[in-house]
Amino acid sequence: MKKLVFFFTALFLTLISCKKEKRILERSDNYKISFVFPDTVFVNELYDGKINYENDLDTIDTTLNNPKKYRYIDYYFVKTKNVNYGDKYLKKIITDTFTAVHHRSIPLYAIRFDSLGVNYIDGMITDEVMIESEMKNDRGQPLTRIITNEFRITKKVFVIKDRTQKVIFDHVDNEK
């Protein structure tokens, strides 16, 4: 009987705690960001996700290939165990980049963690629009206006070896 109760308790905890994806929504007056990525992953396995993204720059241009209003949206990031540092230091340690293929979404693919425990995907979204003007400078070159927005976005990820470790990491994290 004890084994049966233990089995159902373990099964229940596993089903409740193994959420496939979790959305983190950050909102402001001029942007809305949600990070879609599993909150628990297995060590050394590849995972995909995405960042849903809306910004006031969408009112200027929603295409990413307009030659008159060139726009790009990139997510520069690092996988780390600690996020206790500022934006300036983050920009120095960035190791990877994903580029948006659409103005509303930045795809994330083939992300792998090799360290067990709590890890973070920590990075900066850079959204830049370069608007060509009809005006020219003294040398006859066209003037370009550049508008840049940057946002820091971080995702906490639990990295486990197998399903039995998930409960241990959740328990330790919730005690803090």
For the stretch 128-131, contacts whose Cβ atoms lie closer than 8 Å and that sit 24 or more positions apart, written own/partner, are 128/71, 128/72, 128/73, 129/57, 129/60, 129/61, 129/69, 129/70, 129/71, 130/69, 130/70, 130/71, 131/60, 131/68, 131/69
> Of all helices (H) and strands (E), which one includes residue 3?
helix 2-17
Q: Which stretches in the chain have pLDDT values below 50?
A: 2-25, 167, 171-176
Please tell me the predicted confidence (pLDDT) of residue 46: 94
Helix (H, G, I), strand (E, B) or coil at 172: helix
**Closest to 132 measured CA to CA, from 70, 72, 65:** 70
Please tell me the predicted confidence (pLDDT) of residue 165: 57
Delimit the domains of the chain by residue range.
Answer: 21-175
Please tell me the predicted confidence (pLDDT) of residue 71: 84
Residue 96, token pair as written in the block? 């990877």
Please tell me the predicted confidence (pLDDT) of residue 28: 53
Exposed, middle or buried, 4 (CB in 10 Å: 0-12/13-18/19+)?
Answer: exposed
Please tell me the predicted confidence (pLDDT) of residue 80: 94
The single residue listed with the structure tokens 């994903």 is 98
Please tell me the predicted confidence (pLDDT) of residue 94: 92
Rg (C-alpha) for the chain, rounded Å, is 21
Please tell me the predicted confidence (pLDDT) of residue 10: 45
Which CATH architecture best describes the domain 21-175? Sandwich (2.60)
- Paired with 127 in beta bridges are 73, 149
**Closest to 111 measured CA to CA, from 119, 151, 103:** 119
